[in-house]
Amino acid sequence: MIEFFVTPEFLCAALFVTVIIFLLFGFPVAFSLAGASMLFAYIAAAFGLFDLAFISALPQRIFSIMRNEVLVAVPLFVFMGVTLEKSKIAEELLDNMGKLFGSIRGGLGYSVCIVGALLAASTGIVGATVVTMGLLSLPTMLRRGYNPSLACGSICASGTLGQVIPPSIVLVLLGDQLSTAFQQAQFSMGNFSPDAVSVNDLFAGALIPGLVLVGMYIIYQIIIAIIRPDSCPAIPRDEVTTIDGTSMLRTMVSTLFAPLALIVAVLGSILAGLASPTESAAMGGTGALMMAGYRVDPRRGRLIVIGGICLAIMLLTTVLFDLRMQRETLTTLEWLAIFVALVCAVGLVLGIFTAIMRVYSMRDDQGESILPQIMLQTMIVSAMVFVILIGASMFSLVFRGLSGDEVVENVLHNLPGGTLTVLLLIMLLMFLLGFILDFLEIIFIVVPIVGPVLLQMEVAPGVPMSPVWLGVMMAVNLQTSFLTPPFGFSLFYLRGVAPSTIQTMQIYKGVIPFVVIQLLMLVVLWFFPALATWLPNAIYGP
């Protein structure tokens, strides 16, 4: 009897279940992963089923994480999002967008979707987006007579767009893991010089599906506004203008220009191949800091504006000229471009320094400076991500040491129905895990296990599975699990900030149509994979 319980197959399954149990009891994710893995490593070693030499590879894995330039983008994108949130730029954008569209029936719902997409492209942090919009938009929508379920569903769904609209932390981490999984799959198939799959590819692949999803949300709300006009009334037109009579449209343009310019600069530089995700994230963090500094006192923000112009000139100069000085021959025009870039660098440093001082002078409702809060929040989130990644590395070592990867591969390859069955099973597993685990745990635990197996399969005879398409499908699936009652994380985020008059069942009822839209999006991606693969192929080639 005991032989059944000490087989590698049983120990792999028990390890996975034990980690989930630890997490359900509230233990920290990183320590649950590492602790359970060490426990099962010693149990398996006692029965001669595990070589403890595997654990000696952990320091090398940690060193590889430290050397991974792509992962440097994580704290930079976190800094960018937290800065926009703490400086109330997101709040101002949401307020003005609501006034702009509010005179249209259902306009507040449209504005929530649009701002959710903009915040997703600016922050990529689901919890922060849902909480921000829940605090700012939900009371306004309820006061204007919106149906509570429709208001809650719109906010939850729009807040989760940060999972799939680039640049997103989810896509950065998912792209890094899929890149490794794709290389392992190609090595297993005998291809020892595979094409690289980068985060840039996944950003490009997720852009169109993300925008389509926003469009589907808005179309649904338009339909509701037509068939149930009482559920989403319009704001009276006399409230659409500011007190001094300034056109709300002009105010909206001035509010919207800077965030849109930042998004275009960050995402555009990545898609155009001008910068890596890490470099673009640094530019995004710098831009967010300068936007926050300018917001303190626009009339005295000349140095910050000059710094922003210098940044734009430096980007343009980089595109048009080769600025490397370690060359044998440089033309006069190239020397001039280098000189302009150096002068702009000085202007940019002055603008950044001014912005830092301005942001430091900003105070929250308790009278404390927001700059230390931004730095602390960035450190906490970034440390959480990387500690979880280290714990996941230990889990992966032990799982592979128990031949878990071979067990998973054999099980999946022997399932009836081929690729469709395997993909549906994996998607269902990720969907269900999304109820109890955050996206970090799912990406670091599930993707390294099932990714290499899936990427060896064909979606049709002679058509290999695209890692970009698979990544977008996983991102949309994770977003769906974040919305689905009763355990979706977004529902808990909104429940925590919603007024006491909002019932939990109203939140559940409101998100169900958006869950259906998400599932429909997965079906569309299955039948039309070009939605995810066309743009990467058009930009970077097949």
Can you give the residue ranges of every domain in the chain?
Answer: 1-83+370-402, 87-240+425-542, 241-362
The pLDDT of residue 244 is above 50: no
Task: Assign 243 a pLDDT band (cuts: 50, 70, 90).
Answer: very low
Q: At what angle are helices 467-483 and 439-454 packed, to 10 degrees? A: 150
What is residue 270's predicted lDDT score, i.e. its pLDDT? 77
In degrees, rounded to 5, the angle at the alpha carbon of residue 117 between the alpha carbons of residues 148 and 93 is: 80
Q: Name the residue with tokens 């112009």.
A: 309
CA distances to 20, 121, 348, 376 from 285, rounded to whole Å, are 35, 13, 13, 15
pLDDT at 250 over 70: no
Residue 342: band (very low, low, confident or very high) from pLDDT cuts 50, 70, 90:
very high
218 Cα distance to chain centroid: 21
Rounded Cα distance between 444 and 503, Å, is 35
For residue 167, what are its two tokens?
């640049």
Give the type of residue at 365. D
Residue 346 has pLDDT above 80, yes or no: yes
Among 22-26, 79-83, 185-189, the range of highest mean pLDDT: 79-83
| Predicted pLDDT of residue 125 | 61
CB-based contacts of 392: which residues, under 8 Å, 6+ apart? 33, 441, 444, 445, 448
Question: Rounded mean pLDDT of 264-274?
Answer: 77
- The larger pLDDT score, comparing residue 503 to residue 252, is at 503
Looking at the predicted structure, is the pLDDT value of residue 1 above 60? no
Query: Residue 242: its pLDDT value, please?
Result: 47
Average the pLDDT over 479-486 and give the result. Answer: 81
Q: What is the pLDDT of residues 179-226, one digit of tens each?
A: 888 888 887 777 666 676 778 888 888 889 989 999 999 999 999 888
Phi/psi of residue 455, nearest 5 degrees: -75, 0
- Residue 517 is predicted with a pLDDT of 92
CA separation for the pair 286, 315 (Å, rounded) = 13
Q: Shortest CA distance to 290 belongs to which of 279, 300, 305?
A: 305
**Cβ atoms of residues 288 and 80 within 8 Å:** yes
pLDDT at 124 over 70: no
Q: What is the dihedral of CA 371, 373, 375, 377, to 10 degrees?
A: -150
Residue 101 to residue 96: CA distance in whole angstroms: 9
The listed range with the strongest mean pLDDT (32-36, 85-89, 346-350, 451-455) is 346-350
What separation in angstroms does the CA of 199 have from each of 248, 275, 375? 38, 12, 25
Nearest to 496 by CA among 238, 245, 128, 188: 128
Mean pLDDT of 304-328: 83
Strand partners for 464:
458
Q: What is the mean pLDDT of the chain?
A: 80
- Asked whether the bond before 372 is cis by omega within 30 degrees of 0, the reply is no
Distance CA 236, CA 537 (A): 47
Distance of CA 461 to the CA centre of its chain: 33
Q: Give the residue from 463, 473, 467 showing the smallest Cα distance to 455.
A: 467
403-435 pLDDT, tens digit per residue, is 777 777 777 777 777 778 888 888 888 888 777
Helices (H) and strands (E) in the chain, counts: 23, 2
> Crossing angle for the helix pair 73-86 and 370-401, nearest 10 degrees?
150
Closest CA to 173 of 159, 162, 187: 162
The answer for 145, left when phi > 0, alpha when psi is -120 to 50, beta otherwise, is left
Once rounded to an integer, what is the mean pLDDT over residues 489-517?
A: 83
| CB atoms closer than 10 angstroms to residue 417 | 10
Helices 370-401, 439-454: inter-axial angle, 10-degree rounding? 40
Cβ contacts of residue 211 below 8 Å, gap of 6+?
Answer: 117, 165
The C-alpha angle with vertex 270 and arms to 282 and 191, in degrees rounded to 5, equals 115
Strand partners, 463: 460
Start-to-end CA distance of the chain, whole Å, equals 53
The top-scoring range by mean pLDDT among 110-119, 213-222, 231-240, 255-264 is 213-222
Task: Give the Cα separation of 133 and 105 in Å (integer).
Answer: 19
- State the pLDDT at residue 381: 79
Please give the Cα distance from 308 to 287 (Å, whole number).
Answer: 8
490 or 515, which is more confident: 515
Mean pLDDT confidence for 493-512 = 82
**Angstrom distance (rounded) from CA 482 to CA 489:** 5
Picking from 389, 366, 367, 385, the residue whose alpha carbon sits closest to that of residue 377 is 385
Report pLDDT for 245: 47
CA distance 23 to 32: 7
For residue 177, is pLDDT > 80?
A: yes
Task: Quickly list DSSP for 174-200.
Answer: HHHHHHHHHHHHHHHTT-SSPPP--HH
Residue 329 gets the label, from left (phi > 0), alpha (psi -120 to 50) or beta, of: beta
- How far is residue 294's CA from residue 257's CA, in Å, rounded to a whole number? 13
R_g of the chain, CA atoms, integer Å: 25
Position 216 scores a pLDDT of 92
* pLDDT of 246 higher than 70: no
